[in-house]
Amino acid sequence: MIDKSLIDYRVYLVLDPDLCADFGMVETAVAAAQAGAGLVQLRAPGWKKKAMYECALALKEKLAALNVPLIIDDHVDVAMAVQADGIHVGQKDLPVDVVRKLVGPDMIVGLSINSLDELKQMDPDRVDYIGVGPVFRTSTKKDAASPIGLKGLEAIVRASQVPAVGIGGIKACHMGEVAATGAKGAAVVSAICGTRDPALATEALLSAWQAR
């Protein structure tokens, strides 16, 4: 069981099947985790359940050895089936109170937040962290809302009772600005996925965060 108080949110990798096609989903995750990524999320909205399940199993085995939590996007059943460390849901997915009842108190539960109104409607006792954004424009999520910018991120971070990570278009050059908002980390996709060297990309993100 993961100690939630020790979660390292600084570099939170969100896997993308298209961007990872050449290097591999599991290979990208392992390289990033070995280089310092503190969380890995499996997000593959176009996949069938079996593909999600099989990839999640492989990821769970590799990441558990590195003590890096595996988060499953959206699919609570897959998260439970592979005994993942956590589940992340959006505003249009199952309500977090239902999710918490299904997964129990120990699993990490994350929620996407785009506005202060959404944050106010959230029960912080049901959620372990929030993913706030998109901060900048992003091409990796087709149904993403309008960017909230760094000021929007900071406003939500300050109002949140749970750890918050920024997400959406964040690159190494943005890490210092994201850290300055008070966020605990940044969830990234293309900043790692699809790069020639995922480990080197992860190290660059961490260095930029620490150099703020």
Our answer to whether residue 43 is catalytic in this structure is: yes
> What is the dihedral angle through the alpha carbons of 115, 121, 125, 128, rounded to the nearest 10 degrees?
-20
Our answer to whether residue 160 is catalytic in this structure is: no
Residue 193's φ and ψ, nearest 5 degrees, are -65, 130
pLDDT digits (tens, 9 = 90+) for 120-150: 999 999 999 999 999 998 776 666 678 999 9
Rounded mean pLDDT, 93-118: 97
Rounded mean pLDDT, 164-191: 97
Q: Would you call the peptide bond into 134 cis, given omega within 30 degrees of 0 as the criterion?
A: yes
Whole-number average pLDDT of the chain: 96
Q: In this structure, which amino acid lies at residue 153?
A: L
Percent over 90 (pLDDT), the chain: 93
Which residue in the list 60, 62, 100, 112 is annotated as catalytic?
112
pLDDT, residue 144, reads 63
pLDDT, residue 192, reads 98
pLDDT at 8 over 80: yes
Rounded mean pLDDT, 147-156: 97
Our answer to whether residue 49 is catalytic in this structure is: no
pLDDT band at 1 (very low <50, low <70, confident <90, very high): confident
Q: Is 127 exposed, middle or buried (0-12, 13-18, 19+ CB in 10 A)?
A: buried
Percent over 70 (pLDDT), the chain: 97
Question: Whose CA is closest to 69, among 157, 6, 162?
Answer: 6
Question: Whose CA is closest to 66, among 2, 143, 121?
Answer: 2
Which residue in the list 43, 60, 62, 100 is annotated as catalytic?
43
122 touches 111 (CB < 8 A) = yes
pLDDT digits (tens, 9 = 90+) for 77-98: 999 999 999 999 999 999 999 9
pLDDT at 197 over 70: yes
pLDDT, residue 142, reads 62
- Higher-confidence position of 102 and 139: 102
86 touches 111 (CB < 8 A) = no
Which residue in the list 10, 60, 100, 141 is annotated as catalytic?
141
Rounded mean pLDDT, 13-28: 97
Look at residue 106 and give its three-state secondary structure: coil
